[in-house]
């Protein structure tokens, strides 16, 4: 029996790995050129938190982020948020504050995590560990470094958010 379900929105610039993260977490797969399946708005996965079954529904943006055209429907009812940037994309890091602001406009305060993805490409990093940690502190968000490619820390992101929501 599902005790409760949470809707999680995953935002960040195009190319940071949002769709890949959803595929990885819900289907256990990683492809180099994942193209969104037309008609699929979200995927879900069921996990257990404190002995209760929780359904985690992950919403994908289908590339609209590039046109700044994410609709209110995307954010509606979101209970948790993942702010994502890429280790190898400076602009995606600098856009995190703006993404947080957009989510807050639609959802007030919800449990939020900052994800630094593509940590497998740390050799090509264009952000320092220090500045990432400082931003996370300033925005008062947990920071989690992931590699969707190598399946590092992806499950922790959603376990953390589900646990936070469960405690509310």
> Which residues would be at the binding site for ligand GDP (CB under 6 A)?
14-20, 32-34, 117-118, 120-121, 147-149
Q: Which of the ranges 10-18, 106-114, 126-134, 142-150 carries the binding residues for Mg ion, by CB under 5 A?
A: 10-18
Residue with smaller CB distance to ligand GDP, 35 or 168:
35
**Nearest distance from residue 59's CB to Mg ion, in Å?**
11
Residue with smaller CB distance to ligand GDP, 32 or 101:
32
Query: Contact letters (x/-) for Mg ion, 11-50, by CB under 5 A?
Result: -------xx-------------------------------
Residue with smaller CB distance to ligand GDP, 59 or 111:
59
**Nearest distance from residue 70's CB to ligand GDP, in Å?**
12
For the chain, the DSSP string reads: -EEEEEEEEEE-STTSSHHHHHHHHHH----TT--PPTT--EEEEEEEETTEEEEEEEE--TTGGGGT---HHHHTT--EEEEEEETT-HHHHHTHHHHHHHHHHHH-S--EEEEEE-GGGGGG-SS-HHHHHHHHHHHT-EEEE-BTTTTBSHHHHHHHHHHHHHH-
Using alpha carbons only, how large is the chain's radius of gyration in Å?
15
84 contacts Mg ion (rule: CB under 5 A): no
Site of interaction with Mg ion (CB under 5 A) = 18-19
């Amino acid at each position: 029996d599902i005790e409760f379900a949470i809707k999680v929105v995953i935002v960040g610039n195009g190319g940071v790995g949002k769709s890949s993260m959803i595929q990885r977490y819900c289907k256990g797969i990683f492809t180099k050129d994942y193209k969104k399946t037309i008609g699929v708005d979200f995927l879900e996965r069921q996990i257990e938190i404190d002995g209760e079954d929780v359904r985690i529904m992950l919403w994908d943006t289908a590339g609209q982020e590039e046109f700044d055209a994410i609709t209110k429907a995307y954010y509606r009812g979101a209970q948790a948020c993942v702010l994502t940037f890429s280790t190898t994309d400076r602009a995606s890091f600098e856009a995190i504050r703006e993404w947080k602001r957009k989510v807050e406009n639609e959802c007030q305060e919800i449990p939020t995590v900052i994800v630094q993805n593509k940590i497998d490409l740390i050799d090509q990093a264009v952000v320092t560990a220090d500045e990432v940690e400082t931003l996370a502190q300033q925005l008062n968000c947990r920071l989690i470094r992931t590699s969707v490619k190598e399946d590092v820390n992806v499950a922790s992101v959603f376990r953390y958010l589900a646990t936070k929501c469960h405690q509310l």
